[in-house]
Structure 1
Amino acid sequence: MNNSLPLSGQVAAVTGAASGIGLACAQAMVEAGATVVLVDRDSQALAKACARLGAQALPLVLDLLDPVQCAAMPEQILALAGRLDIFHANAGLYVGGDLLDASDEAIDRMLNLNVNVVMKNVRGVLPHMIARGAGDIIVTSSLAAHFPTPWEPVYASSKWAIDCFVQTTRRQVFKHGIRMGAISPGPVITALLADWPAEKLAEAKANGSLLDAAEVAQVVLFMLTRPRGMTIRDVVMMPTNFDL
C-alpha cells in the first residue's frame, strides 16, 4: 500500500460501476489508493472492469431495482471490504424525449432507480458511517437538476428531486462527521445518451459539447480529497461549448 496516495487505506463503493461515470470514478479512486467495491447488475462487464483495475477492485453483482438485493447492499459491501469510508451513489437511467412518448414502465423504472434507490442506498450506509463518525457520500446528479431541459422532462425531474435530497440530507448528517455532495455534469459520453435524438448527439459530438467520464471522475476525486473541514455541496460541470 502506498501511504502517500490521497485515498490510501480507505474503502469506497460505487454503484453503476461497470461502465461510464461509475467505472471512471472507481478507477480514479483505485489509482488514488482506495479499495473499491464496484456494484453493478452486469456481471460480465463488472468482472472485466475489476480484472482491469486489479486487486483493489472488488466486484459486487446486484440488481438495485430488486428490493431484496437493494436492501442487502450495505451488508454485502461490509462483508467484502470490512468498512466503508466513501459511498458514491451513481447508478441511474435516462429517459429523454417528449413526455407523451414515455411509457408508464419507463417512467416507473427510471424514477425508482434515480430517486428511490439512491435514497435507500444512502440510508443503508449511514448507520455504519455514523457509528464510525466519518464518511463521504457522493451522488451523481445532473446539470438537468439546475435547468429545466425541455427535451428530457422525466429525467430532469428525477435529478431535481435527488439534488434536493442531497442538499437536505447533507444538513442532517454533517454533525456525524459525514460530508455529502452531488456532482452535476452536463452531457457525458456514456450509454445513458443512447436515447438522445441521433441528430442532437451527432451535433454535440461534432462541436465538442460532451464531457468525458474521466473528467467527471477527477472532480469527484477533488471533492473527496478536500480537508475535512470543507464540504463541496455540488459541482456543476459542463463542456465549454454546451451553452452555445
Structure 2
Amino acid sequence: MAEKLAGKIAAVTGAASGIGLATTEALLEAGAIVVMVDRDEKALSQITGRLGDKAIAQVTDLLDIDSCARMVPEILEKVDHIDILHCNAGTYIGGDLIETDTATIDRMLNLNINVVMKNVRDVIPHMIERGTGDIVVTASVAGHMPIQWEPVYSGSKWAITCFVQTMRRQLNKHGIRVGQVSPGPVISALLADWPPERLQAAKDSGSLIEPTEVSDAIIFMLTRSRNVTIRDMIVLPTNFDI
C-alpha cells in the first residue's frame, strides 16, 4: 500500500486485539505512527516489539475513571499531536435481558458509550486548536436495527450512533471529521457470548467477516479528500441474514 497517511499520528483504543489490532496494522502500512491504547500491558509490549518503532504502547484502563482521564494527556507526552482517534474499545452482551446481571450491563454501557464520549470530549480541544482531525468510532450494524438476541448491546450501539452523528455536525466547522464504521459479526473474542451452535452456523454459512475487512473500510474513510466525510460505513458478511 502506498503510504497515504505518512506523517499522521493515530491513537487506537482496544488496540491489542481484533479490529483495533487490524486497524493499527493497516495504519502503520499506510505510513502512520500509531499509539496503541489497551489495558493489557503484556500484550502491548509484545505487539509493539513486533510492529516496530512506529507502534507506541499506551497502557490505559478505560473503565478506571482516572486512567481514562489521563489517556489523551499521556498520549500527548509521547507524540507531538493526534491526527486520528479511533474509538474502538468495546464489549458485548448477547441473550435475553433477564439472563444478564446488572453489573455486567453497567460495565458494557460504560465501555461502549461513556468511555467513547469521554475520549472524544478529551481530544476535541486539541483537534480544535489544530483546526483538523479525524475521529472514527467502531459502531455496529446493531446500532441501525433492533436485534432481539442482543438488546443491551444493540441499545448501546444505537446510543453511540446518535452520539457520532451529532458530534459530526458539531465539529465539522472546526475541520474535524467524525464518522463511524458499523460492522456485522466479526470473528473476534466479542462473540464469545454467542451460543456455540449459532456461532458455528455463522462460520459454516460464511456469515462472519475478518477484522481486516473492517480496517480496510477505516483506511478508506481516512484517506478521502478533506472535503469528503464518510459518515458511516456498514460492512456486512454477504451471507449475513438480518
TM-score, structure 2 normalization: 0.98
For 2:142 and 2:110, how far apart are their aligned partners in 1? Answer: 17
Pick aligned residue for 2:36 from 24, 34, 38: 38
Pick aligned residue for 1:159 from 152, 157, 173: 157
Task: Output aligned runs, 1:195-206, within 5 Å.
Answer: 195-206=193-204
In structure 2, runs of 5+ residues without a counterpart are none
For 1:241 and 1:47, how far apart are their aligned partners in 2? Answer: 37
For 1:69 and 1:77, how far apart are their aligned partners in 2? Answer: 12
How far the C-alpha of 1:59 sits from its partner, in A, is: 0.3
Report the equivalent of 2:100.
102
Cα deviation, 1:80-114, whole Å, max 9, x if unaligned, reads 11100000000001011010011010000000000
Cα deviation, 1:101-137, whole Å, max 9, x if unaligned, reads 1101000000000000000000000100000000000
Q: Secondary structure at the match of 1:108?
A: helix
How far the C-alpha of 1:78 sits from its partner, in A, is: 0.7
For 2:50 and 2:23, how far apart are their aligned partners in 1? Answer: 14
How far the C-alpha of 1:168 sits from its partner, in A, is: 0.3
Report the equivalent of 2:13.
15
Cα deviation, 1:67-87, whole Å, max 9, x if unaligned, reads 000001110111111100000
Task: Give the letter for the 1:17 counterpart.
Answer: A
Report the equivalent of 1:71.
69
For 1:47 and 1:19, how far apart are their aligned partners in 2? Answer: 13
Q: Does 1:168 align with 2:142?
A: no
Report the equivalent of 2:147.
149
How far the C-alpha of 1:54 sits from its partner, in A, is: 1.0
Report the equivalent of 1:50.
48
State the number of aligned residues: 242
Task: Output aligned runs, 1:176-195, within 5 Å.
Answer: 176-195=174-193
In structure 1, runs of 5+ residues without a counterpart are none
Q: Secondary structure at the match of 1:243?
A: coil
Q: Secondary structure at the match of 1:109?
A: helix
For 2:23 and 2:59, how far apart are their aligned partners in 1? Answer: 18
Q: Secondary structure at the match of 2:180?
A: strand
Report the equivalent of 1:27.
25
For 2:185 and 2:57, how far apart are their aligned partners in 1? Answer: 27
Cα deviation, 1:164-189, whole Å, max 9, x if unaligned, reads 00000110000000000000000000
Pick aligned residue for 1:239 from 231, 237, 240: 237
Task: Give the letter for the 2:141 counterpart.
Answer: L
Task: Give the letter for the 1:241 counterpart.
Answer: N
Identity %: 60
Q: Secondary structure at the match of 1:239?
A: coil
For 1:209 and 1:44, how far apart are their aligned partners in 2? Answer: 32
Q: Does 1:136 align with 2:134?
A: yes
For 1:218 and 1:194, how far apart are their aligned partners in 2? Answer: 24
Q: CA RMSD in A?
A: 1.1
For 2:31 and 2:216, how far apart are their aligned partners in 1? Answer: 14
